[in-house]
Amino acid sequence: MELTRDAVARLVDHTLLKPEATDADVRELVTEATELGVLAVCVSPSMLPLRNTGDLVVAVVAGFPSGKHHSLIKGSEARLAVQQGAAEVDMVIDVGAAVAGDFNAVLADVITVREAMGDTAVLKVIIESAALLASPQGETAVVECCRAAERGGANFVKTSTGFHPAGGASVRAVELMAETVGGRLGVKASGGIRDADTAHAMIEAGATRLGLSGTRAVLDGFPVSS
């Protein structure tokens, strides 16, 4: 598959989630995102509302990065974010529940957030795929979490927060996610994607969205035109 810089840019959530991010950092993020022609920016909910976003989609995280927040807290966080202008919410599941095989708890978590935020905004569900693949449940956990996300009303499944010690996105995780819900839900690969080759591999595996913090370096590895 031949991918151009502009085509890949339209798959990108330009992301800034480091705890020390300042308002000035976020303003710079928005400026750079506009310059690069990406689809969206993704920030922490405390940074809302954003200004001068133009046509950029605004995404925020909920229950981030541990997923150990009570479901009602995640829901409240998501609802407030939507009220403050977020068009997309990336929530983190309770990874421990998934590792333990309690996929009903994962489903309930997703349903709670979806009901709290309403139907107008896009919901992405972060499953922390590297941790799941390393667990006794292995690939089954990835598949079942994707199924729970779909049943709970999500629009996307997402690999990773980028903060878990187990690692970020992998080709195998993206393949599993795409095989399970691809065509019905989007698949977002995020965490550890630092160059064009890795981004290309994720797209080939089935990713329909990329979460990037080093966006410029990744995009610069793609040809300007085919």
Domain spans in the chain, listed from the N-terminal domain onward: 7-219
Q: What contacts 165, CB < 8 A, 6 or more positions away?
A: none
Question: Rounded distance, CA 83 to CA 62, Å?
Answer: 14
- Assessment of whether the complete model's pTM goes beyond 0.95: yes
What confidence tier does 2 reach under pLDDT thresholds 50, 70, 90? confident
What confidence tier does 225 reach under pLDDT thresholds 50, 70, 90? confident
Q: What is the mean pLDDT of the chain?
A: 97
Question: Rounded distance, CA 198 to CA 192, Å?
Answer: 9
For domain 7-219, the question of CATH label 3.20.20.210 is answered with no
Is 155:124 a contact under the CB 8 Å cutoff? Answer: yes
What confidence tier does 226 reach under pLDDT thresholds 50, 70, 90? low
> What percentage of the chain exceeds 90 in pLDDT?
98
Which phi and psi angles does 88 have, rounded to 5°?
A: -140, 145
Which residues are catalytically annotated? 90, 158, 188
Which phi and psi angles does 97 have, rounded to 5°?
A: -65, -40
Whole-angstrom Cα Rg for the chain:
16
Can you tell me the mean pLDDT for 9-36? 98
Q: How far is CA 58 from CA 1, 47, 129, in A?
A: 29, 11, 24
**Is 90 exceeded by the pLDDT of residue 101?**
yes
Read off the pLDDT of residues 114-147 as tens digits, 9 standing for 90 and up: 999 999 999 999 999 999 999 999 999 999 999 9
